[in-house]
Amino acid sequence: MMRAFEANFNPARIIFGQGTSAQIGDEVARLGCKRALVLSTPFQEGDAQALAQRLGDKAAGVFAGAAMHTPTDVTQRAVAAFHAAGADCTIALGGGSTIGLGKAIANRLDCPQLVIATTYAGSEVTPILGETENGLKTTQRGPKILPEVVIYDPDLTLGLPVGMSVTSGLNAIAHAVEALYAKDRNPVTALQAVEGIRALHTALPLIVATPRDTDARGLALYGSWLCGTVLGTVGMALHHKLCHTLGGSFDMPHAETHAVLIPHTAAYNADAAADDLAPAAALFGSTIGTGLWDFAKSLGAPMSLQSLGMKEADLDRAADIAVQNPYWNPRPIERSAIRALLQSAWAGMRPE
Interacting residue ranges for ligand NAD, rule: CB under 6 A: 41, 43-44, 68-69, 94-98, 100, 118-119, 121-123, 126, 128-130, 156-157, 159-160, 164, 168, 231, 254-255
Q: Closer CB to ligand NAD, residue 129 or residue 321? A: 129
Q: Closer CB to ligand NAD, residue 211 or residue 326? A: 211
Q: Output the smallest distance, CB 56 to ligand NAD, in A.
A: 24
Measured CA to CA, the distance from residue 262 to residue 268 in angstroms comes to: 10
Q: Output the smallest distance, CB 47 to ligand NAD, in A.
A: 8
- If DSSP codes are grouped into helix, strand and coil, which group holds residue 293? helix
Q: Closer CB to ligand NAD, residue 128 or residue 199? A: 128
Q: Output the smallest distance, CB 352 to ligand NAD, in A.
A: 29
| Residue 233 φ/ψ, nearest 5 degrees | -100, -40
CB 227 within 8 A of CB 200: yes
Q: Output the smallest distance, CB 296 to ligand NAD, in A.
A: 16
Q: Closer CB to ligand NAD, residue 221 or residue 270? A: 221
| Residue 60 φ/ψ, nearest 5 degrees | -90, -15
Q: How many alpha carbons lie under 13 Å from residue 258 in its C-beta half-sphere?
A: 23
Q: Closer CB to ligand NAD, residue 185 or residue 290? A: 185
DSSP classification of residue 177: H
Q: Shortest CA distance to 234 belongs to which of 166, 324, 141?
A: 141
Q: Closer CB to ligand NAD, residue 130 or residue 223? A: 130
Q: Output the smallest distance, CB 285 to ligand NAD, in A.
A: 28
CB 13 within 8 A of CB 23: no
Measured CA to CA, the distance from residue 18 to residue 15 in angstroms comes to: 10
Q: How many alpha carbons lie under 13 Å from residue 175 in its C-beta half-sphere?
A: 31
CB 309 within 8 A of CB 260: no
CB 162 within 8 A of CB 213: no
DSSP assignment of 114-126, as one string? EEEE-SSS-GGG-
Q: Output the smallest distance, CB 124 to ligand NAD, in A.
A: 8
Q: Closer CB to ligand NAD, residue 157 or residue 265? A: 157
DSSP classification of residue 325: S
Q: Closer CB to ligand NAD, residue 41 or residue 265? A: 41
Q: How many alpha carbons lie under 13 Å from residue 304 in its C-beta half-sphere?
A: 14
Q: Output the smallest distance, CB 217 to ligand NAD, in A.
A: 9
- If DSSP codes are grouped into helix, strand and coil, which group holds residue 14? strand
Q: Output the smallest distance, CB 241 to ligand NAD, in A.
A: 14
